[in-house]
Amino acid sequence: MAHPGPRRTSSCRAAVALFAVATFCGSALAGSINTDAALTPTAGRSILRLKYTYSEADARDPIVQINSSSVKATFVYGVRDDLALFLSVPYKNVQIDKVVPRFGRIEEAHDGVGDLTLMAKYRFWKDDPAPGTTARWAVIGGLNFPSGDRHFSSRGFNPILGTVFSWRRGRARVDADLIYQFNTGRGEFRHDTLRYDLAYSHRIFPAVYDLHSPVEFDAVAELNGRYRTDGSHEVFLAPGLQFITENWVVEVSVQLPVIQKLAGGAAATDYRLTLGLRLSW
């Protein structure tokens, strides 16, 4: 039986690597919507992500209705193929309508800049066993630091540490993250936060992916969990859609609560809508 020579073996490996890069090229720009991904842009490449979020929440004692919206800009720069830096700046608006005994109805509105986040993501492991199948594993770390805003700043320097895993085979993609933030602020900002997410994405179009596919249309299902050390625990089910091209992505997601255990009479989120745009250059 003839054995493949070194040139043929090298060509096969190169083809697998090339297809793996092509498979994740759009995904590196896209990732999931609310779940982090173990993907980084190649060295010298940049991504700008704009994320608009609107949510409604309410509480009964006292009676409170809270409508919140925010726009978060995240800039990503690929230092190396396996290392990226992130800077996130959120702008927030909150409208509060509450009924207080003896005072009646009170309305408040606040807007300002929330705390900034500087992060690094290092992909320490990858595996491309076959064309169309690839996996990535990364660690992330950084610091959430105060904006100084009167209403939205924690006034604390909050370290962040976590890990992220991504896997793709054919039309399916799975992303998962586990991220812990050590909070050093005061009041409601003093409690640490554990974030855990799991996302499944299915490529609706095209049915067969090749290097010449100009666009990709994905359906996304996510489970997003948040736990705080004051005992609060929330889990959201989040269906979404993504339209992915080589240089930009548009996306939409709706988070619906499935578990809500809140401490201190905090307002419970009714739903959260997310619209996103990502640009790469």
User: Over the stretch 201-247, which tens digit does the pLDDT of each residue have?
Assistant: 999 999 886 666 689 999 999 999 999 999 999 999 999 999 999 89
Mean pLDDT of the chain: 89
Q: Which pTM does this prediction carry?
A: 0.88
Tokens linked to 163: 């890990």
A 10 A CB-CB count for 33 gives 27
- Residue 17 has phi, psi (to 5 degrees) of -65, -40
Q: How far apart are CA 58 and CA 254, in angstroms?
A: 18
- Residue 23 has phi, psi (to 5 degrees) of -65, -40
Compute the half-sphere exposure of residue 251: CA atoms within 13 Å on the CB side of its CA. Answer: 33
| Amino acid sitting at position 218 | D
Q: How far apart are CA 191 and CA 65, in angstroms?
A: 23
Reply yes or no on whether the pLDDT at 10 is more than 70. no
192 touches 174 (CB < 8 A) = no
**100: confidence class by pLDDT, cuts 50, 70, 90:** confident
pLDDT of amino acid 131 = 83
Residue whose C-alpha is closest to residue 199's, from 215, 219, 185: 219
